[in-house]
Amino acid sequence: MASLTFLGAVGEVTGSRYLLEYHDGGREHRWLLECGLHQGGPDADRANAEPFGQLAGQLDGVVLSHGHLDHAGLLPKLVREGFAGPIHCTRDTAELLDIMLRDAAFVMAKDIEWDNKWRRKAGKPLLEPLYELDDVERTLARCVPHGYGQVVSLGGDASLVFRDAGHILGSAIVELGVPAGGRQRRLVFSGDLGNPDSVLMHPAEKPRDADVVLMESTYGDRDHRPLEETLEEFAEVLEQAHAAGGNVLIPAFAVGRTQEVLYHLSVLYHQGRLKQQRIFLDSPMAIRVTELYARKKAALNRDDLKVLNVAAQGDPSQYLPGLRLTRTVEESMAINRIHGGAIIIAGAGMCTGGRILHHFRYNLAKPGTRVVIVGFQAAGTLGRALVDGAERVKVLGEALMVKARIHTLGGFSAHAGQRELIGWIGAFRNTPRVYLVHGEPGAQQRLQAALAESGIQAEIPRYGERITL
């Protein structure tokens, strides 16, 4: 018998984790599909701190769909607690993990150092990091990279294939062949499916055969606004900010969204529609990822790259001449002396930490400021509070009035919308069992109803639920 247990991204978007168990070759095999960080407030922190227990030493290995932290951010903790198996991922995911996990360990150490200062004064117990840089090094050494379409043996009759998910660099749809009931059962996990309108990425592949499908449902309750309309709104927001004399703050999702925003800013510049002369990419991780994207041009959409080449007459340095990369803390702090006319792209994407918080302190209470939200904001995050219209928020321990205008540009999402999700699952030739994951309850229920109207039955699993394959 083969089974799958839902251990994360159930009733929430983040914290991806699924346990696959099966018998083969006379013994029990256990594989972890994803090992993601929960994001969004104290509940997420408690979930991340929960020990893996005996599971860490029992696993044969881990399979990753892509490098975003909500899918891979707890890997070093798993290694710290005793995991010593292979971590299968795509080649580009392995390179992204080298950047993202190191940054996560660094930011975590800084955050805990900050928290422990007041804890020490208050006589409270000091916090320990989930993992440290040494754990990251050991994790990266366990990564086994593969190309798209390559059939990978997991030992015995089990196999793995990665397909392009079109979400970020290296993102994959995971196809697992698992021995069960005298034959191989096929489990397909969508990972995060890309938005067809997103630039730089290829369209997501559409597998045709599966017995069981786990499909993300982040935007299961809506279709995205057409990209053309989103770009027009983006240009208008930039124009309004320039006229109001304020800065534009864009919380940066370091992988994918930042590179897409830079692309569109470049196009606006070469159309003569970008008034702002100073654009700051104020995120060391986003800078390193952007440099990786530049080195990985062969993996990106050729047609989109042609647009940049034509716009800049073939000179890469002219894609966006006003762009400044601020790597050091001193350079970041200097930006806060600029009271208007700048575009500041800074981490983190859900405003849960990073340099964007410091820019909020100096800009959020100014009516001329524009905050542009370009990605999903999980429940419990500061970004979600801003999207929901909070008039006052706490930033770095300080209460701030929100007088800036908040703009949510859903067309920039790197996730498939409801229409694309239905089209993707509808491409399967047989009738697989479908389970909706990576979505908040309302979004999942609306997608479930929309799928039913298309003749597709889908289930919404509970945390800890175990199904047979």
pLDDT single digits (tens) 206-224: 999 999 999 999 999 999 9
Please compute the mean of the pLDDT values over residues 74-95 and round it to a whole number: 98
Going by C-alpha positions, the residue among 69, 225, 72, 93 that lies closest to residue 168 is 93
What confidence tier does 310 reach under pLDDT thresholds 50, 70, 90?
low
Of 25 and 199, which is predicted with more confidence?
A: 199
Domain boundaries, the chain: 2-222+415-468, 227-412
Q: Return left, alpha or beta for 47; rule: phi > 0 is left, psi -120 to 50 is alpha, else beta.
A: alpha
Dist. CA 356–CA 252, nearest whole Å: 8
Of 379 and 392, which is predicted with more confidence?
A: 392
Same fold, 2-222+415-468 and 227-412: no
Task: Let me know: does 79 contact 139? Beta carbons within 8 Å.
Answer: yes
Of 353 and 357, which is predicted with more confidence?
A: 357
Task: Let me know: does 438 contact 218? Beta carbons within 8 Å.
Answer: yes
Dist. CA 138–CA 2, nearest whole Å: 30
What confidence tier does 131 reach under pLDDT thresholds 50, 70, 90?
very high
pLDDT at 416 over 70: yes
pLDDT tens string 141-160: 999 999 999 999 998 899 99
- Which pLDDT score is estimated for 112? 87
Dist. CA 349–CA 373, nearest whole Å: 8
- Which pLDDT score is estimated for 107? 84
Dist. CA 384–CA 393, nearest whole Å: 11
Q: Average per-residue pLDDT in the chain?
A: 93
Q: Give ∠ CA 456-458-462 in degrees, rounded to 5.
A: 180
Provide the CA 314 distance to its chain's centre, in angstroms: 31
- Which pLDDT score is estimated for 313? 52
- Which pLDDT score is estimated for 312? 52
Q: Quickly name the fold that domain 2-222+415-468 has.
A: Metallo-beta-lactamase; Chain A (3.60.15)
pLDDT tens string 98-110: 999 999 999 889 8
- Which pLDDT score is estimated for 379? 83
- Tell me which CATH code domain 227-412 carries: 3.40.50.10890
pLDDT tens string 216-264: 999 999 999 888 999 999 999 999 999 999 999 999 888 988 999 999 9
Of 81 and 305, which is predicted with more confidence?
A: 81
H-helix segments, 50-90:
55-58, 69-72, 75-80
pLDDT at 410 over 80: no
Residue type, 187: L
